[in-house]
Amino acid sequence: MQVQFCGLTLNGCVYNASGPRTGSSDALAKVGSSKSCAILTKSATLLPQNGNPLPRTYTSPNFSINSEGLPNKSIDYYIDSETIKESVLDSGKPYFVSISGKSLDDNVEMMKRICKAPGVAGIELNLACPNVIGHPIIAYDMVQLRSALKTVASLSLPLPIGIKLPPYFDFIHYQKAAEIINEYKSTISYIVTMNTVGNTLMISPHSGSPVISPKGGYGGLSGPAVKPIALAQVRKFSELLDPSIDIVGVGGVQSGQDVYDMILCGAKVVQVGTCHWIEGPKCFDRIVEEFEEICRKNGVKELEEIRGKLKEWSKKGAALDRQGRKSEPKTSAKGGAKFQSTLDDSSFLLLSVAVVVMIQVLLVLLAQALGHLDVPAVAQFMDNLKA
Ligand code: RRO
C-alpha cells in the first residue's frame, strides 16, 4: 500500500528507526534491500564520534537499554554521494538523514550541508537524545524547543524537516510541545515520536550493579515494554497537532499488529528500532508481511480507512477482547517467558474431573479383583469400602 509522506510516495508504511544498524552504508544497504519503505541514518554529529564506553547496551526479551552516546561517522560521511549510492543501491528508496548536534549551531551547519548534498529526501532533527553526558533532553525544555524551531524556520530549507521527540507523560507537556510545533507548521513536516524513555536503570541480580557502564548505568529504554507509551504519544499528538504535520510512530514495534495499532492511533508511517537491532533487517520483511495479512483479513485496501480510527471503549469491545484473549498464548508473570497454554480454564476443570473419576473407577475395579483372593486384610478393606 502506498503512502504519501513529505511530498514523497512511499511503497509501504514501515521503515527503520535511527539508531541500531544504521551507522554505515553496509548496514543501510541491508535496510534498503528489505521491505523497509525508506532508509534512515544514525543520528549524525559534525565530527565522527566513538560514543560512550562499553558495555553500553543491554537486551532482554521485553526491553532494551542503551547509552550509546551517539557513535557515528559524521555528517559528511552520511551525505557523501558514495555513502548514499552504496546505501540506496538500486532500491530507489528515499534516504533520510538524522542529526543530533552538540549545539543548535551544529544542527544549523549540518542542515545547510545536507541541503547542498543531492540524494537526501529529508532531515530528521533529533531533539530527544537522552545519552549525551551533561546535556539534558532538548525537547523537554520548551524554551529550547521553541528556539530550535524558530532558528530552523529562519533557514527556509528546501527539504522536509521532521523532529524526533522524547516521550511525554503529562497531558500539559504534550499540549505545550504541540502548541510550539503548531506555531512552526510551515517548517515542520512531521514529528517522530518517540525516542527511548530516558535515564532508566536495570540492575543485574548476579552482580548487584547496573547492566551498562556509562552515566552510572542510566540509559534509554526501548523494545516491547515501551509500546503503550509510544501508542499514547501517537494518539495524543494526533489530537493536538495541526493535520498538516504527519506523525511517524516508533516505540516497541515488532509485529504487523503493532504497525496496525500505530496507524489506528494516527501514525502516517511507522519506524522499527529495537526489533531491527535484535532480529536484523529481515524483520522488515516479516513485519510488512504480517501487516499486509492483517489488512487483508480486515478488508483494508487503503491505510486512510484505518488511520486514526481507534474505536472508543465499549462493553461489546470488552467482550470481544475477553473472548480473543482466551486463544492468545499466555505470558507468565515471572520473568516474561512465554508459554503456550493449549487449554482454557473451563477445559482444564473438565479434564481434571474426568481424571479423578477414572482413577476412582480403576480403584473399584482393582478392589473387586482383589476381593476374589482370600486375604483377610483385603476382605476387611472390601467391607470398609462397602460400608
Ligand atoms: O546514540 C545514542 O545513545 C542514542 C541516541 Br542519539 C538517541 O537518540 N536515542 C538513544 O536512545 N540513544
pLDDT tens profile 163-211: 999 999 999 999 999 999 999 999 999 999 999 999 999 999 999 999 9
Q: What is the DSSP letter of 310?
A: P
User: By alpha-carbon position, which residue is closest to atom 8 of ligand 1?
Assistant: 129
Give the pLDDT of residue 348.
Answer: 47
Pairing of strands 161-165, 188-193: parallel
Give the pLDDT of residue 380.
Answer: 62
Q: Is the CB of 69 under 6 A from ligand 1?
A: yes
Q: Is the CB of 70 under 6 A from ligand 1?
A: yes
Q: Is the CB of 16 under 6 A from ligand 1?
A: no
Question: Which residues, 6 or more positions from 304, have their beta carbon under 8 angstroms from its beta carbon?
Answer: none
What is the number of the ligand 1 atom nearest to the C-alpha of 68?
A: 3
Nine-digit cell string for 214: 556509562
Give the pLDDT of residue 248.
Answer: 99
The string of DSSP letters for 338-360 reads: EE---S-HHHHHHHHHHHHHHHH
CA of 69 to the centre of ligand 1 (A): 6
Q: Which mutation among 99, 133, 163, 195 tests ligand 1's pocket best, with the greatest number of atoms within 8 A of CB?
A: 195
Q: Which of 29, 11, 17 is nearest to 83 (CA)?
A: 29
Q: Dump pLDDT digits (tens) for 84-125.
A: 999 999 999 999 999 999 999 999 999 999 999 999 999 999
Q: What is the rounded CA–CA span in Å between residue 30 and residue 83?
A: 13
Give the pLDDT of residue 341.
Answer: 37
Q: What is the DSSP letter of 176?
A: H
Q: What is the rounded CA–CA span in Å between residue 291 and residue 272?
A: 13
CA of 68 to the centre of ligand 1 (A): 6
CA of 19 to the centre of ligand 1 (A): 6
Give the pLDDT of residue 304.
Answer: 97
CA of 56 to the centre of ligand 1 (A): 11
Check 129, 265, 275, 295 and give the catalytic one: 129
Give the pLDDT of residue 360.
Answer: 74
Residues of the chain short of pLDDT 70, as ranges, are: 331-357, 359, 361, 364, 366-367, 369-387
What number of residues does the chain have? 387
Q: Cα dist. 179→152, 176, 185, 240 in Å? A: 17, 5, 10, 8
129 is catalytic: yes
User: By alpha-carbon position, which residue is closest to atom 1 of ligand 1?
Assistant: 70
Q: Is the CB of 68 under 6 A from ligand 1?
A: yes
Q: Is the CB of 200 under 6 A from ligand 1?
A: no
User: By alpha-carbon position, which residue is closest to atom 7 of ligand 1?
Assistant: 129
